[in-house]
Structure 1
Amino acid sequence: MKKIQFKDSVMVLELLDDVLISHQKALKINKSDTIMKVIDLLKKGTAVEELRNCIPNDDVVNLIEKLNAINALIESWENKYKNQHVERQLFYWEQYDDNPNMLQNKLEDCRVAIIGLGGVGGVVLQNLVAAGVKNYILVDYDKVELHNLNRQYTYNLESVGKLKTSESKGYIEQISKDSNVITFNEQILSHKDLNILNDFPIDIIVNAADQPFNISEEIYLYCKKRNIPFITGGLGIYSGSFGPLLDRYSYEKQIAFETVNDPLIKKYYSGSPVKGSIGTTNSIISSLMAHNIILYLIEKKPFAYEKQVSLNFNNLSFDIRVFEGEKNEKSTYS
C-alpha cells in the first residue's frame, strides 16, 4: 500500500495554540490532539486511509493539498544506501525527486574525466567521490610538491614526489572500494592531445588545468567534437570563476566558448599562473563547480548551465556571464 511522509528537511514546531510546519514555506494549523496524531503518522510514513481514520476525508484532501503546496511530502521510500558513506545524501535528494535511490544510482553510473589534479581538480574530485561518483578518468603529468598541500587536500606528506594521478587514484580507492579509475600521466597542450580519451564513453569532462593559457578552449573543442558535456573553472588572487557548463544542446545552438579573443594577447601573453594561493578561496570555487557537476549528472539543470559564474573574494559579489550563441550578456548579483 502506498504511503506518504514528511520529507526529512521538514520542521514541525509546536506553538501554544498552533503547529507550524515549515519547509520551503510555512504552514500554520490549529493545534489539537487529532492533528498531532496526524503529524506523527506523517513523520513515520502513513497510508492516506490511516489519515482518514483520524480526520474527515475532506480535511485529509485539504491538508495534503496544502502540504504539497510547500513541497513537504514525499512517497515513502527505503534507503538502499544504508551503512554507506552516501547514506544521508539520499535525504538531500528528496528536494529533487521522489526517488532518491534513482538519483544516487545515476551518479554511480557516470564517468567523469578530470583534466588537471591541482587545487581545483583535487577539490572537485573530493566532492565527487564524497557524492558517490565511482568512475573516473584522471589526466595530469605533474608530481606532488610540498607547496601543493595548502590547498590540494587529496595529498599528504607521503605524496610529495609522487605522481598526482596515482595519488588521486589511491585517494578514490580509500573511500570507494568498488571504483573504476583510469589514469593518464600526460600533459594536455591542445585538443589533439585528448585523443587518448577517444575510446572511452564520458559523461562530462572537467577542465581544472591552468596551462597553457588557452587550455579551456582546447578542451572545449574536443568536447564539442565528441558531444561530451564540458565545464571549466579556475581562480586568481582576487576572484575565481567556474562555468560555463555546456553540452550537446549548447553545441547545437552554436554557443562558442573562448576565454581570450584578442589575437595580440594570444600571441604575446605567457599565461603563467599566479603563485599566490590559499585553500579557502580555492575550495569555494571548486566546491561550487563540483555542485553544479553533480546536479548535471543527476539530470537537474545547474545554475552554471551555459553561464560563467565569477566570485569577487573581497566583496562577495557575483558576476554572471550568459552564453547565448553569438552574443554574451553580463549581469551582476550581490
Structure 2
Amino acid sequence: MRYSLSPGWMVDFAKDEIVVKNEIRGISLKKIKNVEAIHTYLLKNSFLPSEIGLELTDYLLNENIIRKDIHLESSIENSKYKKQIDFWSYFRTNANSIHEVLGEKKIMIVGLGGIGSIVLEILAGAGIKNFTLVDSDKVEPSNLNRQFLYLDSDIGRYKTDSSSDNISKRHSDLIITKRIMNYPSRDFKDLINESDFVVSAIDQPSLKSAIKLCQESWLLNKSSAFAACGIYKAVTSPIFDKNKSKNSPIDSCKFNKNDESLITPPVSASSGGWNSMIASILSEQILLYLAGVDEEVSYHDYTYTLRDNGKIKTIHKNTITL
C-alpha cells in the first residue's frame, strides 16, 4: 500500500527537522533519522511506509496527515474540473465519485437575477450539467451591475435565453430546459418532480414567494433552498430536506403580518459584491449537500450576513421573521 499527504498538508524542512502544516495546524517532526531523505519522500505524490519508516507512518496516519494513495485517473486530473475534484478530496476519499454524482443531478433554478444567475455559474463550474431555468423577465440595463452572466447585447432578451446561451459558451456539454413563466403556476409541480434540487431565487412580490416555492418542493419530497439580499442584511436559508431538517420552510417562518399584501417588497437597490457573496454561500451549501458532506451543511439554521460598522459578520437563527 502506498501513501500520500492528505489534502491541505504541506511539508517544510528547516534546521534538521521536518514541519508538516495545514491552514490551522503545524507539527514539528524532530529526532528523525535520515531526515533529508524522509523529507524528499513526503514531498512525492506517493510513497511506501518502508521509505519513511513504519513508526512515522503510523503516527502520520493517526494524525490524518497522510492517507492511502487515491491517485486519480489522468483523464480526470487533466480536465477543467481538477481543482473542484481536489476540493472534494479535502472532505472525502471518493472525490472522483462525488464529481460523477454531481454530473448526474438535475437542478431547477427559479429566478435568474442577482442570486439565481450567479448560482447557475457556480454550479455549472462545479460540474453540474443538467438545469431547468425558470424566469419570465427580460434583461434590463440595471441588471448588469450584479448579474454578470449577461452582456450589453442581451438587453431586451429573456433571461432564460440569455443565461442558457452564455453559460453554454463556457460549458458546452450542459443540458438546459428553459421555461418562461412566473411562480406560482400549475406547471411547477411537474417541474419540481423532475428535479433533484430546487433553487428558489425569486423575490416578487416578496420573500414569501421564495418560501412558498420551497414549501411546495418540501411537500413533493424535493430538497430546496433560497437566499435574499437587502442593504444591511442578507439571509441564506438552510437546506430543506425532509429526511434531515427539523422544520419545513413554512414551519421555520414567523409572520408578523397576516395580510400578504402588507409584506415588505424586496429592496430595489443592489450591490454586485453583496449579491455575489450571498449567492456564493448558497451555492456552496447546495454543492456540499449534493456531495453528501453533511457535516458542513446547515439543515436547521438560517445564516444572516450583516454589515456592522465596516465589518461583515454572520449570525445563525433557526427561524426567519417576515
TM-score computed with the length of structure 2 as normaliser? 0.89
SS of structure 2 residue aligned to 1:317: strand
Q: Residue 107 of structure 2 contacts residue 132 of structure 2 at CA under 8 Å; is this kept in 1? A: yes
SS of structure 2 residue aligned to 1:38: helix
Q: Mark the CA change 1:18 to 1:265 in structure 2 (over 3 Å): closer, same or farther.
A: farther
Q: Mark the CA change 1:296 to 1:198 in structure 2 (over 3 Å): closer, same or farther.
A: closer
Q: Residue 215 of structure 2 contacts residue 248 of structure 2 at CA under 8 Å; is this kept in 1? A: no
Backbone CA RMSD of aligned residues: 2.4
Task: Compute the displacement of 1:144 (Å).
Answer: 0.4
Give the Cα separation in 1 of the matches to 2:192 and 2:262: 32
Could you report, residue by residue, the CA deviation over 1:243-294 in whole angstroms, capped at 9, with x for unpaired residues? 121112146x55453545234452433x432221110111111101100111
Q: Residue 129 of structure 1 contacts residue 175 of structure 1 at CA under 8 Å; is this kept in 2? A: no
Unaligned runs of 5+ in 1: 330-334
Give the Cα separation in 1 of the matches to 2:108 and 2:77: 28
For the pair 1:229 / 2:227, whether they are aligned, the reply is: no
- Indicate the residue corresponding to 2:138 in structure 1: 143
- The structure 2 residue matched to 1:283, chosen from 276, 283, 305, is 276
Q: Mark the CA change 1:16 to 1:241 in structure 2 (over 3 Å): closer, same or farther.
A: same
Q: Mark the CA change 1:107 to 1:16 in structure 2 (over 3 Å): closer, same or farther.
A: same
Task: Compute the displacement of 1:33 (Å).
Answer: 6.9
Give the Cα separation in 1 of the matches to 2:2 and 2:51: 15
Task: Compute the displacement of 1:54 (Å).
Answer: 5.3
Q: Residue 74 of structure 1 contacts residue 94 of structure 1 at CA under 8 Å; is this kept in 2? A: no
SS of structure 1 residue aligned to 2:77: coil
* Larger deviation, residues 17-26 vs 257-266: 257-266
Give the Cα separation in 2 of the matches to 1:99 and 1:199: 28
Q: Percent identity, aligned pairs only?
A: 24
Could you report, residue by residue, the CA deviation over 1:115-142 in whole angstroms, capped at 9, with x for unpaired residues? 1000000111111111111111111000
- Indicate the residue corresponding to 1:37 in structure 2: 37
Q: Mark the CA change 1:280 to 1:31 in structure 2 (over 3 Å): closer, same or farther.
A: farther
Could you report, residue by residue, the CA deviation over 1:69-103 in whole angstroms, capped at 9, with x for unpaired residues? 14443423124423322112222122111121111
Q: Residue 242 of structure 2 contacts residue 248 of structure 2 at CA under 8 Å; is this kept in 1? A: no
TM-score computed with the length of structure 1 as normaliser? 0.86
- The structure 2 residue matched to 1:317, chosen from 289, 313, 317, is 313
Give the number of aligned pairs: 314
Q: Mark the CA change 1:161 to 1:225 in structure 2 (over 3 Å): closer, same or farther.
A: same
For the pair 1:52 / 2:79, whether they are aligned, the reply is: no
Task: Compute the displacement of 1:195 (Å).
Answer: 2.3
- Indicate the residue corresponding to 2:27 in structure 1: 27
- Give structure 1 regions of 4+ aligned residues with deviation exceeding 6 angstroms: none
Could you report, residue by residue, the CA deviation over 1:155-208 in whole angstroms, capped at 9, with x for unpaired residues? 011111111111111122112221111111001136x451241551x2210111
- Indicate the residue corresponding to 2:117 in structure 1: 122
Unaligned runs of 5+ in 2: none
SS of structure 1 residue aligned to 2:312: coil
Give the AA of the match of 2:241. D
Give the Cα separation in 1 of the matches to 2:11 and 2:39: 8
- Indicate the residue corresponding to 1:332 in structure 2: none
Q: Mark the CA change 1:64 to 1:40 in structure 2 (over 3 Å): closer, same or farther.
A: farther
- Indicate the residue corresponding to 2:84 in structure 1: 89
